[in-house]
């Protein structure tokens, strides 16, 4: 395993120490886990990830009809 040196703001170190104490882990372990989770995340394009998420839902109705219903008071008729 390779060591790295990173400069972090004092408030981040305090938060990291609090998290480490709460979880019973070291700072280094939390940082290793954070890097692993970040790598596992894959694409950072969250819009593409969520695309089509609700496409098979039948219980939420038509979104266009919903939008038109809530905007009826804005109709300039």
CA atoms within 13 A on the CB side of 1: 5
C-alpha 36, offset from chain centre: 15
Token pair 């972090």 in the structure block, residue: 8
Please give the DSSP secondary-structure letter assigned to residue 72: G
Tokens at residue 19, please? 């998290």
pTM of the model: 0.53
pLDDT band for 76, please (50, 70, 90 cuts).
low
Q: Select the more confidently predicted residue: 70 or 75.
A: 70
pLDDT, tens digit (0-9, with 9 covering 90-100), for 58-71: 887 887 888 888 88
pLDDT tens-digit series, residues 20-55:
999 999 999 999 999 988 887 766 677 777 778 878
């Amino acid at each position: 395993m390779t060591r790295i040196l990173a400069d972090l703001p004092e408030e981040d170190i305090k938060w990291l120490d609090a998290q480490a104490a709460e979880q019973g882990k070291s700072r280094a372990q939390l940082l290793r886990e954070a890097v692993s989770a970040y790598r596992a995340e894959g694409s950072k394009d969250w819009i593409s990830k969520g695309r089509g998420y609700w496409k098979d839902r039948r219980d939420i109705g038509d979104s266009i009809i919903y939008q038109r219903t809530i905007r009826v008071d804005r109709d300039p008729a």
